[in-house]
Amino acid sequence: MARIALSDDEFQRLLAQFEQSLDEPELTALCALCGYRTDTLTEVRIWPAMAVQVLRRAEAGLWLGDLLILIVNSASVGAPLVAACMRALAAWRKAEAQAGPYSPRDPKAALMLFNDAPFVDRIDQRPFVHGLVQRLGRRVMIVRGEPATGKTHTGLFVRHLVEQNQPGAGQVVQMAPIRLHEMGGERIGAIDLMTEIADRLGFATQDENWDAMAQEARQAEKLTRWLEVQTASLRTRHQSWLLVIDSLNHPRVGSGALELVDRLIISGSRGDLVNVSLLLLAHPTPPPAHVAGDVLDITLQALTETDFRTHVVALAQAMHRKLHDDGAAQMVEFLLKGLSFPLGHDGMVVAADRLRQLPALIERVA
């Protein structure tokens, strides 16, 4: 299977500019804006060894493009680093295009072939996700479902779509992921959530207008109005954001944070959040009734045998391999052996391990 990576010379040029222009806190902040914590990428805190490991993990995880685009569009970095990132981004795109026979230019194929977490396509939800990323139609999408039904993978699919949706010029679309289960503190309130949102979108945090002493409903209202004003600047910055809030059903998420999310749903569905769309994963309550018709509200079902059978065919197509009937039957038997449906958490662990092995098996059989 082809591996997508910068050439050694290009990697060293980019690394040299990282060494000169960044330090550990700055790289940590940039990775966080891409949705990655450096303590999960590397335990090395020595500079520049840390930068080497982070860049290699970004290559392997196919989010190097996200990181480079973020730096290019940042107002806080110098021209030499921007120039180096633009050069590296062009090389990265060329590496993607030449990665055949498994080119990842199709985001679904990229997820199937190169993502650490196995991806099974949900054909029924794909048009809605495409529309959200491209800002066509409704601006708020809620994805619900029992554990192990694919909510997190929806976020992974969105990440690839955002990267693939970059125009050659004009407005830049970026993803701003917020994973509530990774936030600290005993309870996540409205101000805690808005602090994360503001930080992701590049706005000042802890504004005096947030009114920490107000009651929860009033606090959520004022925070939402504040964010509406801030997002107006995105027009002149030529930016469009997809704000992804994950794990809204986590037990540490307080009523104030959920009140704020409801306010954001209202504002987002009306277009009052300028150049910002919302993807809400595992939201525990219905959207406010008066805007429910303007919200895409999808409940994922557990994967079925049919989903796995379809996946075998789709994966072989993404690999440009032709499976005959007996070969496809072998792959399906390998995936389904011993599993009972609907799949629970333990079943999904087994299925995920088999899905990781599937490309290599298809390579041998086809």
Judgement on whether residues 295 and 200 belong to the same structural domain of the protein: yes
Please give the residue range of the domain that contains residue 345.
Answer: 303-365
**Listed residues 300, 325, 354: the one ending a domain:** 300
For residue 14, tell me if it sits in a domain: yes
C-alpha 295/C-alpha 151 separation (Å) is 17
Q: Is 333 exposed, middle or buried (0-12, 13-18, 19+ CB in 10 A)?
A: exposed
Which spans in 34-78 are helix H?
38-41, 49-60, 64-72
pLDDT, residue 164, reads: 60
Question: Total structural domains in the chain?
Answer: 3
Judgement on whether residues 32 and 76 belong to the same structural domain of the protein: yes
Judgement on whether residues 86 and 126 belong to the same structural domain of the protein: no
The amino acid at 308: F
pLDDT, residue 102, reads: 44
Q: Is 145 exposed, middle or buried (0-12, 13-18, 19+ CB in 10 A)?
A: middle
Question: Are residues 322 and 366 in contact, defined by beta-carbon separation less than 8 angstroms?
Answer: yes
For residue 102, tell me if it sits in a domain: no
Judgement on whether residues 253 and 134 belong to the same structural domain of the protein: yes
Judgement on whether residues 195 and 267 belong to the same structural domain of the protein: yes
Residue 178, domain CATH: 3.40.50.300
Peptide bond into 104 cis (omega under 30): no
For residue 252, tell me if it sits in a domain: yes
Question: Are residues 205 and 199 in contact, defined by beta-carbon separation less than 8 angstroms?
Answer: yes
Residue carrying structure tokens 């080119």: 103
**Sequence-ordered list of residues with C-beta below 8 angstroms from that of 202, at least 6 positions apart, any chain:** none
For residue 203, tell me if it sits in a domain: yes
Beta-bridged to residue 177, according to DSSP, are: 244
Report the chain's C-alpha Rg in angstroms.
21
pLDDT in tens, the chain (366 residues): 456 788 888 999 999 999 999 888 888 888 888 777 777 666 667 888 888 888 988 887 778 888 888 888 777 888 889 889 988 988 887 776 565 444 444 555 555 554 555 566 665 555 666 667 666 668 899 988 887 777 877 776 777 667 665 544 445 678 888 989 888 889 999 999 999 999 999 897 777 778 888 888 899 999 999 999 999 998 888 788 999 999 999 999 999 999 999 999 999 999 999 999 999 999 999 999 999 999 988 888 878 888 888 888 888 887 778 888 888 999 999 999 999 988 877 888 888 888 878 877 887 777
- Give the DSSP letter string of 195-243: HHHHHHHT--SS-GGG-TTS-HHHHHHHHHHHHHHHHTTHHHHTEEEEE
**Sequence-ordered list of residues with C-beta below 8 angstroms from that of 345, at least 6 positions apart, any chain:** 147, 148
DSSP 290: G
**Listed residues 256, 277, 300: the one ending a domain:** 300
Judgement on whether residues 199 and 211 belong to the same structural domain of the protein: yes
Which residues in 178-203 are b (16+ Cβ under 10 Å) and which e? Answer: bbbeebeeeebbbbbbbbbbbbbbbb
Judgement on whether residues 338 and 290 belong to the same structural domain of the protein: no
